Amino acid sequence: MMSSSHAASSADSSGRPEDVPRSAAPERTVRRLPIPRTRDPFINTPLLALAHGAGVPRRYWISTWNAASGSTGALVDEHGNARVYRFEPPHSGFYSAAQVDDDTLVLCGDLTRVVRLTLSSGAVDVYETGAPPGLVFKGMACDPASGKLYAAALGSGARSSLSFDYRNGVTAAIHTDVTPDHYTKASFANGDGTYTIAVASPGLTLLRWDPATDSVEALALDRPEPPVLDWSHFQGLDRLIDDGRGRMFLPGWGWYDPEQRKLVDGPDPQTDMTWFGRTDETAWGVRSDGSRAEVARWNLKTGEISRVCSIPDLAGEGLVLSDNGKIVAVNIYGDFFRFDGWSGALETTRRLPTDASGLVYHLRRVDHDRLLGAPFITQRFWELRLSDGTSADLGRAAPGAGEVKLSWSIGGKIYFAAYVGGVLTEYSPDERAAFPENPRVVAATPNGMRPTAGTDDGTRLFYACSHSYGRLGCTLTRYDTATGRADYRDDPLPGLAIRTLLWDAETSSLLAGTCIDGDNTSAPRALERPAIVRVDPESLLPIERYDLDGPADEVSVVGRISDDSYLCVARLGPGQKRWFTFSSAAPAMPDISDMSPLPEGSGDFIATFRPGMFIRAMGGRFDLWDMRDGRMVATLYEGTDIDRCFTQDNAVYLATHREIILIEPLCADRGVDDDPQGA
């Protein structure tokens, strides 16, 4: 499995060190290759219907997420005619947007800045807010009367939000710790000058914002909340409909009356969906798995649900019901659709020109000439020819929305584990890429969401997935590439999530490093101490457990130093890391006080193909370290432009915003010299 700075792992599948003599330093070559372009992802961003005058085509706004080349915005009319806007970094994306006049949008993707876009000219004005950084999700509220907006940020510490005066470009107020929940989902006007913002996971909070006073109040519903948000409670909140009297429908809870500030009786649908439009006694809803969305109508009088149409590759927030009864949609890959809302007939489809180079999230070398890469959150993958730099977008790597997190090369096949859903796919690199035939799904982890760690024993591969947002714990999957059999174990370590996983050949077991947080810190902790756990590969249950002797966030088993010795890192808190060695032959967790501190700002250790040799990131410099005696033996690269570092076999891959830097060989063919320069 290829290892990276975000998911360090064993670089060979056998689990055995190479017992070879050391030799002189190799002559390394450095090659730079451009990152291939793929379909830029319109994801997590609601399609926004814009106001229009008589005789003017209806227009809609949506944007992508791209932390490498910057977000792409699309202004598209009801016929599919589009104008594309390119935003340079640091503008990765704008999950929240609002129209403030016929020619102006305000956009927010990070709490530190608000962007004003003039549609006619493309002019961009950027306003620094003074708020701490944090990802702003959808659901920003905008009040045209006062000229203010309210946005809240997802963060692992104090959760911040702000009221911003977009007319004058100044921050009106900054709030902290207004809710323990994480994701803003939708907002609506209450009819009295105030606004409600729904914030979900692990529970549901309704924030009531008053633009006149810049005050924010958290409201609790008078019905018990579920302990974990399922699909209807979480995705169902991406869009909200009203009943014509100001009452809003919250899927999973029911009808909410903002005047009474409580849930009230009202019609319930037969099926949970994201309800995105209503006219009279009919509502339109969608349910999407990221690969295909099913659209249906809800008769509010009878509760009956009737199918309307299906839309490929559509996220649940990427469609609206127009004022003339049309379903308008832009899917994840920039395909525009218009359907008749009653008959479901497809009337228009266009492809928007939105290809871009995305943030490289995973790499896998196939052979001497071919490199596979997966951009962030597009669920696609590309192939790059190292000999001449030519490339191809290979389409989907896995179903749903998300990205490849882990991969393996076994028996001439490539295996991808992907978020969301913990799905495993098998790809034959010598056959034409055409999902779902190639790659094809071979395992789907029950209750799994984000693949976090993986390893293999040469034939069987093992990987862990976090539970869904708001839940602690994890799931484990074992897939036998020879027989095609998949086996699963849900929540083998209650309260702990596996974040690193290695095959220990000496004991024929799995070594797991764990974390006490839920995915994206979206659930309250149940434990204070993480642990290293030895896991039985047959039952996928723990055999032995070694807890840290004090509070900490996470402990990682990074890679092998020798046949039974492993380099591990304990993360005690923000900026507090300590490294130590762990022996599978004589397992024992050292006291935290005996562990070696890592300097503040030190990046991860990254395992290489050779036991004992690790790459260490520090202040933009990537050094090769021999951890058998704790010495730095070579500097591989210096620069502050690296997004991610990967290793596979005897090579290092550094990904910037625009290119892949390939450094090989990492080590001499026969080993590493005793001389500090002998790597």
Cα distances (angstroms) measured from residue 607 to each of 199, 223, 610: 39, 50, 8
Which pLDDT value is given to residue 253?
87
Output the pTM of the full model: 0.92
Which pLDDT value is given to residue 678?
38
Enumerate residue ranges in the chain where pLDDT < 70: 1-25, 155-158, 223-233, 669-679
Distance CA 152, CA 135 (A): 8
The one-letter amino acid at 398: A
Which pLDDT value is given to residue 203?
82
pLDDT tens digits, 640-666: 889 999 999 999 999 999 999 999 999
Which pLDDT value is given to residue 674?
37
pLDDT tens digits, 86-132: 999 999 999 999 999 999 999 999 999 999 999 999 999 999 999 99
Tell whether the torsion through CA atoms of 355, 357, 363 and 365 is positive or negative.
positive
Which pLDDT value is given to residue 228?
56
Distance CA 157, CA 132 (A): 11
Q: With contact defined as beta carbons under 8 Å apart, do 372 and 413 qualify?
A: no
Q: With contact defined as beta carbons under 8 Å apart, do 632 and 624 qualify?
A: yes
Which pLDDT value is given to residue 229?
60
Beta bridge partners of 64: none
Distance CA 605, CA 656 (A): 19
Backbone angles phi and psi of 575, in degrees to 5: 75, 10
Which pLDDT value is given to residue 2?
60
Cα distances (angstroms) measured from residue 235 to each of 26, 472, 578: 53, 19, 39
Token pair listed for 399? 């179903």
Q: How many residues does this entry show for the chain?
A: 679
The one-letter amino acid at 42: F
